[in-house]
A and B are shown apart, each in its own frame.
Chain A
Amino acid sequence: MISEPFSSGSTLFHCSDARVKVIGGTVLSLVLATTTSFAVAMIGFLFTSLLLLISRPSPGLILKRIATVNIFTLFLLFSLPLTYGGADIVQLQYFQISLDGMRIACLIAIKTNGILFCFLALLATSSTVSLGHALERLRLPRKLVFLLLFSYRQLFVIHQEYLRLHRAAQLRAFTPSNSLHTYRTYSHLFGMTLVKSWNRAERVHQAMILRGFDGRLIPLKQPQLRKSDYLLLASLLLISLILAGFSLNNPV
């Protein structure tokens, strides 16, 4: 159920250094997130679509992800034209459609998907572990990276624990409904999961101390930046710079 389906592959992005992808992806997303220009958002969207195509994700899965994220975009597309107000109003039978609202909703839809594609192409093509180590080498606080790597490590275990308890409840004919009993049962399931993970933390901590843990996690692979990594970083930053410059000159 929890997995990183896009992180395995052999395309350009899968082989690139995670640090390059983190920096390039963040800068490009930042430009897209802050722009108010339709043209810049559109060009950015087309560019990140190209990136996504290069990363060759499995089509079914990627469409599903894109659909999930776009539920909120759809909500905005329907609600903003009706509620936004503004000067440009078109009367359509009983409804007043705000053109400003329509414009904003479309801009948001393009930006949201542009940034999503950028994320899927650049960051989702790395495993969480390599992202974590990349963040550490980019000077993020060591404790934060440790939290990230360790929660990631324990995530699956805790989810399994929860599922086991849930299965046990189902075997005892528990069927969820709108009742206090249901809420209490879920609370106890979750409370028990908490208790188990609390005690597991204690054991893991003791085991780590025994093995001489000093707060550092040392990755087995220490990737070196290659020429292609520098090239990728330079082109991502260049595109971001051009888009940012264009965005500053054309605010609408």
Chain B
Amino acid sequence: MHISEGILSTPVLAGSAVLTVMGTAVGLKKLDYDRIMTVSLLSATFFVASLIHVPIGPGSVHLLLGGLLGLILGWGAFPAIIVALFLQAIFFQYGGIIVLGANGLNIAGPAVLCGLLLHPMLLGTRKQQMTAGFLAGFCSMFFSALLMAGALFLSDQGFLKVASLILASHFPVMIVEGLITMFVVTFLVRVQPEILSLTTSPQ
């Protein structure tokens, strides 16, 4: 899911970096010090999700779960994902510093968008909750892959076929992300609904 350094063109790098800075700024602004601990822990959890490999067909993929983070944190997911991506760059050299803007936008943008749009559905019936969960996982992954392909295509028109190949290869992953997010959402609804801000937390 990460684009490595050295691939994207300067305008794409610059444009996505500006958008990522803006998104992070909004996310940080909406974050007060009472919630910051929760966001850091979820950022770490998001990082751990990327270490979980689930089988798919003959191989396996690692989870991303951006949509889930978006549902839980809303705008706060933006800085949380940026931080997790930075840590991944440090630990595993996935992505990098210069391309952090592009990767951040590709993953955090759809996550926040899906989270904000689908969160109201969580207040509905069980079926609606499941749908919201599936859509959050599926759509955030879909738009992430679309943005990734778009970033490649905008960098160089010759990337068109490679970009569509990447997009197509992500379809099974989208379904797995959708299913896992759906199951996690129904699990959280039963176990601790305040994580999804469905009830007020007992403070």
Contact = CB atoms under 8 A, between A and B. Distances in A.
Interface of A: 1-4, 25-26, 29-30, 32-34, 65, 68-69, 72-73, 76, 79-80, 83-86, 98, 100-101, 104, 108, 110-116, 119-120, 123-124, 128, 131, 141, 143-144, 146-148, 150-152, 154-155, 157-159, 162, 176-178, 180, 182-184, 186-195, 197-202, 204-205, 208, 215
B116 interface: no
Contact of A65 (B40, B93, B183): B93
Contacts of B47: 151, 155
Contacts of B44: 150-152, 154-155, 157-158, 197
A187 B184 contact: yes
A3 B87 CA distance: 11
Contacts of A146: 36, 40
Contacts of B179: 180, 183, 187
Contact of A197 (B41, B83, B180): B41
B167 interface: no
B195 A158 contact: no
B18 interface: no
Contacts of A100: 158
B54 A182 contact: yes
Of the candidates B52, B93, B192, the one having the most CB atoms from chain A within 10 angstroms of its own CB is B93
B93 A120 contact: yes
Contacts of A141: 25, 28
Given A69-B4, A116-B93, A191-B188, A33 B41 contact: no
Interface in B4-63: 4-8, 10, 13, 24-25, 28, 31, 33-34, 36-45, 47-49, 51-52, 54-57, 63
Contacts of A34: 10, 13
B96 A158 contact: no
Interface in B162-178: 162, 165, 176
Interface residues of B, number: 71
6 contacts: A33-B99, A79-B165, A83-B162, A84-B158, A151-B44, A158-B45
Contacts of B89: 119
A73 B4 contact: yes
Given A143-B33, A187-B179, A194-B184, 11 more contacts: A25-B97, A100-B158, A116-B4, A144-B83, A147-B79, A147-B80, A151-B47, A190-B184, A191-B183, A198-B192, A201-B42
Interface of B: 4-8, 10, 13, 24-25, 28, 31, 33-34, 36-45, 47-49, 51-52, 54-57, 63, 65, 72, 79-80, 82-84, 86-87, 89-94, 96-99, 156, 158-162, 165, 176, 179-184, 187-188, 191-192, 195
B4 A85 contact: no
Given A148-B86, A178-B55, A76 B38 contact: no
Contacts of A101: 158
A128 B88 CA distance: 11
A84 to B, nearest CB: 4
B115 to A, nearest CB: 14
Contacts of B8: 33
A152 B91 CA distance: 11
B124 to A, nearest CB: 20
Contacts of A148: 83, 86-87
Nearest to A1: B51
A216 to B, nearest CB: 10
Nearest to B90: A128
A199 to B, nearest CB: 8
B187 A191 contact: yes
Q: Kindly name the residue among A1, A30, A72, A187 whose own CB sees the greatest number of chain B CB atoms within 10 A.
A: A187
B33 A2 contact: no
Given A33-B6, A34-B10, A187-B183, A155 B37 contact: no
B54 A176 contact: yes
Nearest to B190: A191
B160 to A, nearest CB: 8
B156 to A, nearest CB: 7
